[in-house]
Amino acid sequence: MRFYGNIPLMVEHNKITIKKALKLDSGEKISGFDIAYESWGKINADKSNVIVIMHALTGDQYVAGKHPITNKKGWWDDIVGKGRILDTDKYYVICANVIGGCMGSFGPTSINPKTKKPYALTFPIITISDMVNAHALLLDELGIDKISCMIGGSMGGMQVLEFVAKFPNRVERAIAIATTSRHSAQNIAFHEIGRQAIMADPDWCGGDYIAKKKKPRKGLSVARMTAHVTYMSEESLQDKFGRALQGKNKVSYGFDADFQVESYLRHQGISFVDRFDANSYLYITRAMDYFDMEEAYGKHLAEIFKTTTTKFLLVSFTSDWCYPTEETKYIVRALTAAGSDTSFVEIKTSKGHDAFLLDEKEFKATLKGFIGK
């Protein structure tokens, strides 16, 4: 039985072992590695009805239906299903856990066959480009060449951009939501705070917490709290909580969670720890920090997308300060300059970066219009 932290990994994920070798950006080679994925709907005879969803930093392949660990609905359950925007009566929808993740794909919790112990920090550093290459190998394995639509928000959007850049003729329609082509200094800063919080926790044990039957609960919780604030907007925090007190009429003159916003954040932190691995958090945030397409390709974004035949939809949210609209506009200008068929919609919302996971009518109407055609 595998563990992470003290939790036995009871969940058996659907997975495929990729036999082909993959050379990572770091120079390391991996082969015989697992990719876990979920799918909905039926693939048609000519395999022309495939929708690929790329998940965000703390997302996973359990997009629709019940999540096997949290027992809550999947993160896009209202988007994926019969008669929904990604209609599983019509499309074969697939989502894979990124490499570096902790939901069954090759990641730092995977067992190193040589040592019989989890890789932990001996796991190689991965990049968004590596994630995309691994996804492409999964699709190859499944015999899927053309993708009718590839869609992702946040880090999922980065993967969408990177996939199209690598395979300019494989994706018919691409939707990149609330994302960027280059991770900003501010975002690196917040990720670094999260990593330092994890590594400051003595239960992190230099990364070896699984072998030592510990779990850096407090550190990972602080990391999540920090990230969570960046996913909301000042306005949404104000609207949702303001200075409202949590189950009391006056402040306690102490360090308990007096304010609802404190209580909410603590809950976000604590519940995250039960479903996510701390080392995966380190590796995936690092991959995001390293993401800078122009730096990686050594040319302007417009040059990178010069040969693509993909039709694009870019979506941003007015109150998203994690990936501000300006960064989406930069991508839109480059795609347009590259002669790409590109739609761009900025959704007016107070919900911040998280809007792509929330019930945002105009956003859904935008997706529906683009995909429905």
Which stretches of the chain bind a copy of itself, using CB under 8 A?
A: 25-27, 121, 124-125, 182-186, 188-190, 192-193, 195-197, 199-202, 218-219, 221-222, 225-226, 229, 234, 237-238, 240-243, 251, 253-255, 257-259, 261-262, 265-266, 269, 282, 286, 289-290, 292, 295, 321, 324
Report, in Å, the least distance between residue 277 CB and a copy of itself.
15
CA angle 206, 12, 279 (to 5 degrees): 15
- CA-nearest of 109, 91, 94, 127 to 34 is 109
Nearer to a copy of itself, 101 or 104 (CB): 101
Report, in Å, the least distance between residue 229 CB and a copy of itself.
5
- Does the annotation count 353 as an active-site position? yes
Give backbone dihedrals phi and psi of 81, rounded to 5 degrees, phi first. Answer: 155, 180
Catalytic one of 319, 320, 340, 354: 320
CA angle 326, 341, 302 (to 5 degrees): 55
Nearer to a copy of itself, 308 or 349 (CB): 349
Going by C-beta distance under 8 Å and a sequence separation of 6 or more, which residues neighbour residue 302? 333, 334, 335, 337, 338
DSSP conformation class of 97: P
Asked if residues 146 and 169 have their Cβ atoms less than 8 Å apart, the reply is no
Report, in Å, the least distance between residue 251 CB and a copy of itself.
6
- Does the annotation count 154 as an active-site position? yes
Identify the bridge partners of residue 16 per DSSP, sorted by sequence position.
Answer: 35
Q: Which amino acid is at 11?
A: V
How many residues would you count in the chain? 373
CA angle 234, 237, 242 (to 5 degrees): 110
Report, in Å, the least distance between residue 14 CB and a copy of itself.
30
Q: How many beta carbons lie within 10 A of that of residue 144, not counting itself?
A: 18
Nearer to a copy of itself, 20 or 243 (CB): 243
Report, in Å, the least distance between residue 313 CB and a copy of itself.
25
Report, in Å, the least distance between residue 242 CB and a copy of itself.
6
Residue 276: HSE in the Cβ half-sphere, 13 Å Cα cutoff: 27
CA–CA separation, 364 and 52 (whole Å): 17
Residue 200: HSE in the Cβ half-sphere, 13 Å Cα cutoff: 12
- Does the annotation count 145 as an active-site position? no
Enclosing H/E stretch for 17: strand 15-18
Nearer to a copy of itself, 113 or 253 (CB): 253
Nearer to a copy of itself, 4 or 241 (CB): 241
CA–CA separation, 73 and 52 (whole Å): 19
CA–CA separation, 327 and 293 (whole Å): 13
Nearer to a copy of itself, 187 or 308 (CB): 187
- CA-nearest of 265, 182, 255, 178 to 227 is 265
Catalytic one of 129, 154, 233, 316: 154
Report, in Å, the least distance between residue 63 CB and a copy of itself.
28
Nearer to a copy of itself, 263 or 343 (CB): 263
Active-site residues: which are they? 154, 320, 353
